[in-house]
Amino acid sequence: MVLKTTVRSVGKVVDNAVNKSIDPAIEQAAALIRGGEVVAFPTETVYGLGGDATNDAAIKRIFAAKGRPADNPLIVHVASVEEAADYTRDIPLLARELMDAFWPGPLTIILPHNGTLSPLVTAGLDTVGLRMPAHPVARQLIAATGRPLAAPSSNRSGRPSPTEAAHVLDDLNGRIPMILDGGSAGVGLESTVVEVIGQTVMVLRPGGVTLEELRQVSSDVVVDPALSIAKEAPRSPGMKYTHYAPEVPLFLVEGELDALKQAIEEAKLDGARTGALVVDEWLGLSGADQEVTLGKRVDLHAIGRELYRALREFKARDVDILFTCTFPDDHLGGAIMNRLTKASEGIQKSDA
């Protein structure tokens, strides 16, 4: 069914503890969600596509709008630690310590659920990923609906995640009734997903909270080796399917500017129209037909914030092939490389 998609801008959101008023756009969105509909809304990571996590019909609408495989579990957004306890059998001490350190914020914690959520949310697993977002619009929307919100990124499955309302409209216009426009996302990469196993923090998806930050809470932080095993049932979004892909083939080039220039030159000799994602320091130097900058090479937070916007800049009618360099795998670079690897056709090594 084709819907009329309305974009509603949200004014300045104030703390509900001080001012009980709610923006009319948020009230309208909450009413739609309570009625079983789905609404796109801003979080500090990317825009989410929210529906009542206890309503099977709403969850089916999320999957249908995105074209998302039904075996890919959804993250559930809550308004507080106390609300998280309403949907879980147990919250271990270490999980509570992570909540105290990083909630509200870009951290999703996998916990055993108690059966009160729609089974479609969990894809048949006995666990669910819970997150308390930091964005004031997201938090007011959750509070106004009075429901936990299942909310994957609000893009067509496989496409770059949206960091602006315009990106959502590009992908989901006519598929959902409403988009709450709260401006650009501040982080630009999805949340880190972790599972607590005994005294170990297992990272299932790198994201806005880095390994180094997690290690300030727990000395035992490891990355799940299943992250790269496609045949296993995913315990977290981002573990199985191709994600984040631009409209044209993307290749990662290992090395510095000379390596990137060599890869682009070889593609141009084959007659390809080339595009490049470059850092500010390399702008105008790659030799590509089109360039989009990500920010300064040393500013990984800026690169993470700009990555999905930049991937959406390139259209198939303008370039045939897209290149970018690799980044260090520590700090936020781990999440950036995870997204680029899943978006790309592979890594090219160069003699340059």
Residue numbering of the annotated binding site for L-threonine: 45, 68, 77, 131, 151, 191
Please tell me the distance from the alpha carbon of residue 329 to that of residue 332, in angstroms, as a whole number. Answer: 8
Written as six digits, the tokens of 1 are: 């069914």
Please tell me the distance from the alpha carbon of residue 105 to that of residue 82, in angstroms, as a whole number. Answer: 16
Q: Which residues are annotated as a binding site for ATP?
A: 72, 127, 153, 161, 205, 244
Q: Which residues are annotated as a binding site?
A: 45, 68, 72, 77, 127, 131, 151, 153, 161, 191, 205, 244
Q: Measuring CA to CA, how many Å separate 333 from each of 83, 125, 188, 229, 349?
A: 32, 30, 13, 21, 19
Of the candidates 156, 152, 138, the one whose C-alpha atom is nearest the C-alpha of residue 108 is 152
Written as six digits, the tokens of 92 are: 């271990």
**48-52 and 39-41 as β-strands: parallel, antiparallel, unpaired?**
antiparallel
What is the maximum alpha-carbon separation in the chain? 63
Written as six digits, the tokens of 301 are: 């937070």
**Residues listed for the chain:** 352
With DSSP H G I counted as helix, E B as strand and the rest as coil, what are the percentages for the chain, rounded to 5? 30, 20, 50
**321-325 and 274-278 as β-strands: parallel, antiparallel, unpaired?**
parallel
Q: Measuring CA to CA, how many Å separate 211 from each of 48, 129, 195, 332?
A: 24, 18, 13, 8
